[in-house]
Amino acid sequence: MTDRTGVTTDRVPSAKRNQCVGIWRLLECFHQGPWTDLFYAQPAEAAGSPRADYVVKMVTDSIDAQLEGQLQLRQEATSAKAASHPNLIALLDARLSAPRPYVVFPRLDGQPLSTWLGSKYSQPLPVGLWWIRQAAQALQALHQSGWIHGDVKPDNMLVSLSGHLTVIDLGLSMREGDTLQADRFQGTPAYAAPEQIQGKGRATSQSDIYSLGMVFQQMLCRNKPAVPAKPLNRQLLQKFQVPESVVGMLEEMTSPTATDRPTAAQLVDRIFKLEIETLGTHIQPLDDTLPQAA
């Protein structure tokens, strides 16, 4: 099985099919990461039902990974409890003191934004702005509650066929100003802010804005960010007829100086205005030609 970073793992999942943990029955392990496993689940009393409307994220049984897995689940549960927004994954249950700690989330319909970006079907600019605004709204809720996401990237955004975007995976979230995690980097280099990678300062809410800018740049330029990051390619953006107002905003989001980047709240307002300005672009409906989740 392959985890979200592309690392293959042959270990046995941390729990068995139909095993009950608390009030939840585990049905299928659909993802194995280095520290946690993800299971489709249902309420324990729903035995025999084909429905699996929940996801249980459980610390792996590997002794070497348990400490990091427990830390991530604690961060995820605490940040998800602190911030609530329709564009942010909702926490339904958490048992952090269980023999094998776990958290529970609703099972969401949709595909990762990375799947949409990798499709041959590109979306008009107003749709891209709409998606980025939804992500910014989720970050605004997190930041206003004092938390940083820490790993903003296309794989951590789910987009439904109706276009609703949900920011997921708060395992690397941290409190703003947390000195205990200031010296360690566990994000994704292609999307991480310079201050995170270079160790010139601890991550802040502005680091999330930079990462979101790199996601937006990928959406507009139709290629993945380079590692190490390169300056914004204005010529390529002009090739795709991206308006100067959008290019200017993207430059501010990906500024190497954190204090020059807009806040999530400022970004939401700015994108909303750009959505109105670009409505002259035809907005095609999201199609269902992408492969559906099993």
pLDDT at 178 over 90: no
Which of the residue ranges 9-18, 67-76, 144-153, 252-261 would you say has the lowest mean pLDDT? Answer: 9-18
165-167/157-159 β-pairing: antiparallel
pLDDT at 76 over 90: yes
Q: Are 179 and 202 a contacting pair, CB within 8 Å?
A: yes
Task: Report CA 245 to chain centroid distance, whole Å.
Answer: 26
Question: According to the model, what pLDDT value does residue 281 have?
Answer: 56
Q: Are 133 and 271 a contacting pair, CB within 8 Å?
A: yes
CA distances from 234 to 9, 215, 243 (A): 40, 16, 11
Comparing 106 with 1, the larger pLDDT belongs to 106
Beta bridge partners of 111: 159
| pTM (two decimals) | 0.87
pLDDT at 294 over 50: no
Question: According to the model, what pLDDT value does residue 182 have?
Answer: 56
Question: Using DSSP, how many helices (H) and how many strands (E) does the chain show?
Answer: 8, 11
Question: According to the model, what pLDDT value does residue 56 have?
Answer: 97
Q: How far apart are the C-alpha atoms of 148 and 203, rounded to whole Å?
A: 8
Q: Which residues are catalytically annotated?
A: 151
- 251 pLDDT tier (thresholds 50, 70, 90): very high
Instruction: Domain ranges for the chain, please list them.
Output: 20-106, 111-277
DSSP letter, residue 284: P
User: Which residues have CB under 8 Å from 25's CB, separation 6+?
Assistant: 18, 19, 41, 42, 43, 44, 46, 47
Homologous superfamily (CATH) of 111-277 is Transferase(Phosphotransferase) domain 1 (1.10.510.10)
The answer to whether domain 20-106 has CATH 3.40.50.620 is no
Pick the most confident of 108-122, 137-151, 165-179, 214-228: 137-151
Q: Are 169 and 151 a contacting pair, CB within 8 Å?
A: yes
